[in-house]
Chain A
Amino acid sequence: MEYAVSILAGLLFASGVYLLMEKRLLKVVIGTVLLSHGAHLMILTMGGLKKGAPPLLDDSISQYTDPLPQALILTSIVISFGVTSFLLVLAYRTYKTVKTDQVDQLRGTDDE
């Protein structure tokens, strides 16, 4: 299982990086979304998968999955959401201001 998820994370990274090198701003933003998915899966996998019950304490269970990576990912999800939404609005703003969404044509504005 861990190997399969690692390979999936690698695939997500590859697609994310590929999209980051695209010309359209929106594809770049989507690339960051894919990258963060890959990173989250990676963190979770590193802690080991499916080794017990969900980390909700119950007297009848003795084996739980590792709660720490989950806490880390939870923090990371929220942060990457913040960044993604910021990037989206930034892309929207950029398009409104310079009238292009081509990354190669972004060379600063006159009133800078």
Chain B
Amino acid sequence: MHLLHVAIVLPLMYALFAGLFARWKRTIHTGWFILPLPALLFIYFISILPGVSQAPLFASLHWIPSLNINFDVYADGLALLFSLLITGIGSLVILYSIFYLHTSEKLGHFYTYLLIFMSAMLGIVLSDNLFVLYTFWELTSISSFLLIGFWNHRDKARYGAQKSLLITVAGGLSMLGAFFMLSHVTGTSSIRTLLLQTETILEHPLFPVMLILILFGAFAKSAQFPFHIWLPDAMEAPTPVSAYLHSATMVKAGLYLVARFSMAFTPSDLFFILVTGVGLLTLCWGSYLALKQTDLKAILAYSTISQLGMIMAMLGFGSSTAILGAVFHIFNHATFKGSLFMVAGIIDHETGTRDIRRLRGLLTFMPITATLTLIATFSMAGVPMPILNGFLSKEMFFTAATELAKEGSLQAAVAPYVPIFAVFGSIFTFAYSMFLFFRPFTGSKDEADFPNKPHEAPAGMLISPSILVALVIVIGLFPNLIAGVLLAPATESILGGKAVTDIYFWHGFFNLPFLLSCLVATAGILVYFFRKRLDGMYRILPGKASGNRLFDGLVYSLEAGSSRVNGRIMTGSLTDYFQIILVFFVGVVGYTIVEKMPLDFMSSQLASVEWYEWLILLVIGLSAIVTLFIHHRIALILVIGVTGYGVALLFVMFRAPDLALTQLVIETVTVALFLLCFAHMPRLEKPGKKAPIRKILQIVLSVGVGVIVAVTGISSFRFGDQFEKISAYFLETSYTLGGGKNVVNTILVDMRGLDTMLEIAVLGLAAIGIYVMIKVRDREELK
């Protein structure tokens, strides 16, 4: 057991106490009890950072060794970058939530879910075992589901929670399938060992399947096109949750997965096409849709989608510049997007609305919030100012996009088109960022009609976004502060080799990426000013082709379809069920007979038939057929009696005296019973007309069953007496062992006495059942 194990499990253990804290001191906000834990973990991860960048940490803990599933942890640069984000932003979010959530909320629930989530996230990034990773992966889905539905009295929160769970769990399950294949192909479930077997994986015929399944999991989690639809609906969660889960951590789990496996997968062209293609598409689609939104958090959600797409695209490029850019942007995005969500929460909290159409002129009321928003949005837009970290990573994106041609023949073929997508996405990013700042904060304050009177947020609420925004500027000014210690090890663990990690503070004026940035800024300003003209375009695209419609339609038609199928099959009519059973019996057995069993008749050992035996057979057969057509009660019973006595006569012919006796007695009693019952039952009138199709089905099925039984009986004789019968033993020992000369009776009570005992039990039960049915009901009727 290593300290890393403790670090992963500690929040989970601590979650057990969150509810207790919430009940124990109602006057103190529960968040204060929770806050020290992520802070402590953050300090721990900082302290092991220098050591890990030299030599990664590995520790093993047996869990299910027989299945090769062990709780192995592996901390390298990439894992630590994520761990620091999780614990660092986690601390800030908890601090923020202390001021955001009122003590009247269900705080115990909130912090329990949040701590479970933190544990799960740390588990994902630090696990070295595929299946342990999957376990934590699903734990994030579940805790995220609980957090989105935190205000579960709202319909929209429940809808959003359900949608996100359905999509991310579908992705998670397909990922599990890929993990099974991966561990089968490579013979190990350790991610480190598995990544070294690039050739084995890439040359395996299952590789495309594995890749697609694993990417489905990653794309669903990281809200990539077309699985992005759950993220905007997840905005019903409390804002600290949106800031933490849906901008900084959980949505990056998919990125982590792609980054982690890219060492093995990068040489594959399919990996490049899928990851880059989906990434670029998501970048453009997300930023295009973000401009349309009117809700602050919805804009941020689509913006997150588009930024994640950009990082995904860079991971797909696979060049060392691109990977460095991706890692850098993962860090940067967490800083500015986290602060933006918190700012959106502040605006919501202080004005009572998040609708951007109602917000106007907040600059005078909330100067500090406005400053924070200004820096964060400009950083997100990548405004060409080198004090913003977003600008630096966007430059790296452009650099990587323009240099793509060096990477390989396929990359060279698509290289000319990639910057077009990159620039298109960035123009819209620029436009919505400007919209996000200028619309709520500028303009005349008189127009405003806010639900609450707006004023500056309390200091405590501003601490967390201030720290993040300070990071934006510090990293923007001195990128190499983190480049050496944090980004370099992360890049190296993705690439699996040495990386060049000098981030230039300023590239100079005349290079392609900078010119592209200027182009983006100019075009972005134009789009911002003429955004009203775009309305027509949004009606055409997405128009009716939106993913939400598809998802809702899919869920609806699944439910409607299955209830229709159920309604058709589960009619409630016993006859229908019986017919279904018979159709399968006739179909399956009939097919097997026709297909597998050539009929050959063997008549050498068969007994001959006398004329009186023919007569009995004929009588039984006729009476059986006649029962179908009789509608008179007494006649029906008599015919049934004829059948029964006929069978008894057959038993006499076949030298079975005990059977004949029993059959005679029982037939008599049965007929008596029938007579007794029929006296209380209504007359059997001629039945009404049945639908002809039902009549035909009834005839076909019964004839089918009869033919199958007859054919099975006849064809079973061709096996003859292949094996010696056990009856010889019974005949031999009936007297010597059983002391009886009637062999049938000896078998019944000596050799196979258990059958007889249970048969007596059956009779007894039937008698008790009949007694109860008659007596108990009679008593009820008397009352």
| Chain A residues packing against B (C-beta within 8 Å) | 1-15, 17-27, 30, 33-34, 37-38, 40-42, 44-58, 64-68, 70-71, 73-75, 77-79, 81-86, 88-93, 95-97, 101, 103-104, 106-107
Contact with A along B654-680 (1 / 0, CB 8 A): 111111001100100110011001101
Judged by DSSP, the binding face of A is helix
Judged by DSSP, the binding face of B is helix
List of B residues within 8 angstroms of A45 by Cβ: 713
- What are 20 A-B interface contacts by the 8 Å CB criterion? A3-B717, A4-B614, A4-B617, A8-B621, A13-B705, A17-B706, A24-B684, A26-B677, A33-B644, A34-B643, A41-B647, A47-B727, A50-B655, A56-B742, A57-B741, A68-B725, A70-B659, A75-B755, A82-B765, A95-B682
User: Are the C-beta atoms of B658 and A70 separated by less than 8 Å?
Assistant: yes
User: Are the C-beta atoms of B659 and A73 separated by less than 8 Å?
Assistant: yes
Q: How far is the CB of B80 from chain A (nearest CB, A)?
A: 63
Q: 8 tightest A-B contacts by CB?
A: A14-B706, A10-B710, A6-B713, A82-B766, A18-B702, A55-B743, A1-B607, A57-B741
List of A residues within 8 angstroms of B658 by Cβ: 70, 74
**Which residue of B607, B650, B662 contacts A51 across the interface (Cβ within 8 Å)?**
B607
Instruction: Give the distance in Å from the alpha carbon of A54 to the alpha carbon of B743 in the complex.
Output: 9
**Which residue of A3, A37, A85 contacts B606 across the interface (Cβ within 8 Å)?**
A3
Instruction: Give the distance in Å from the alpha carbon of A27 to the alpha carbon of B742 in the complex.
Output: 38
Contact with A along B594-609 (1 / 0, CB 8 A): 0000000101011111
User: Are the C-beta atoms of A37 and B644 separated by less than 8 Å?
Assistant: yes
User: Are the C-beta atoms of B680 and A95 separated by less than 8 Å?
Assistant: yes
User: Are the C-beta atoms of B669 and A67 separated by less than 8 Å?
Assistant: no
**B residues 709-743 in Cβ contact with A at 8 Å:** 709-711, 713-714, 716-717, 721, 725-727, 730-731, 734-735, 741-743
User: Are the C-beta atoms of B759 and A97 separated by less than 8 Å?
Assistant: no
Q: How far is the CB of B762 from chain A (nearest CB, A)?
A: 5
B371 within 8 A of partner (CB): no
Instruction: Give the distance in Å from the alpha carbon of A74 to the alpha carbon of B651 in the complex.
Output: 11
Contact with A along B603-623 (1 / 0, CB 8 A): 101111100011001001100
In the complex, which of the residues B582, B636, B710 has the most CB atoms of chain A within 10 Å of its own CB atom? B710
Q: How far is the CB of A34 from chain B (nearest CB, A)?
A: 6
List of A residues within 8 angstroms of B582 by Cβ: 17
Number of interface residues of B (CB under 8 A): 96
List of A residues within 8 angstroms of B698 by Cβ: 18, 21
B184 within 8 A of partner (CB): no
B763 within 8 A of partner (CB): yes
List of B residues within 8 angstroms of A96 by Cβ: 680, 777
**Which residue of B628, B659, B735 contacts A18 across the interface (Cβ within 8 Å)?**
B628
Instruction: Give the distance in Å from the alpha carbon of A8 to the alpha carbon of B650 in the complex.
Output: 12
| Chain B residues packing against A (C-beta within 8 Å) | 572-575, 578-579, 582, 601, 603, 605-609, 613-614, 617, 620-621, 624-625, 627-628, 633, 636, 640, 643-644, 647, 650-651, 653-659, 662-663, 666, 669-670, 673-674, 677-678, 680-682, 684, 687, 698-699, 701-703, 705-711, 713-714, 716-717, 721, 725-727, 730-731, 734-735, 741-744, 747-748, 752, 755-756, 759, 762-763, 765-767, 769-770, 773-774, 777
User: Are the C-beta atoms of B716 and A46 separated by less than 8 Å?
Assistant: yes
User: Are the C-beta atoms of A26 and B726 separated by less than 8 Å?
Assistant: no
Q: How far is the CB of B288 from chain A (nearest CB, A)?
A: 56
**Which residue of A18, A25, A68, A79 contacts B747 across the interface (Cβ within 8 Å)?**
A68
List of A residues within 8 angstroms of B717 by Cβ: 2-3
User: Are the C-beta atoms of A106 and B574 separated by less than 8 Å?
Assistant: yes
User: Are the C-beta atoms of B624 and A101 separated by less than 8 Å?
Assistant: no
Residue of A nearest to B618 (CB): A8
Q: How far is the CB of A90 from chain B (nearest CB, A)?
A: 7
List of A residues within 8 angstroms of B653 by Cβ: 50
User: Are the C-beta atoms of B640 and A33 separated by less than 8 Å?
Assistant: yes
14 extra interface residue pairs, beta carbon distance < 8 Å, beyond A89-B769, A89-B774: A2-B714, A5-B713, A9-B710, A14-B707, A17-B702, A19-B628, A20-B578, A21-B702, A73-B659, A74-B748, A78-B763, A79-B762, A89-B677, A103-B575
Q: How far is the CB of A16 from chain B (nearest CB, A)?
A: 8
Q: How far is the CB of A24 from chain B (nearest CB, A)?
A: 6
List of B residues within 8 angstroms of A78 by Cβ: 662, 666, 759, 762-763
Instruction: Give the distance in Å from the alpha carbon of A73 to the alpha carbon of B678 in the complex.
Output: 28
Q: How far is the CB of A54 from chain B (nearest CB, A)?
A: 4
Instruction: Give the distance in Å from the alpha carbon of A23 to the alpha carbon of B678 in the complex.
Output: 16
List of B residues within 8 angstroms of A3 by Cβ: 601, 603, 606, 714, 717
List of A residues within 8 angstroms of B621 by Cβ: 8, 11
User: Are the C-beta atoms of B702 and A88 separated by less than 8 Å?
Assistant: no
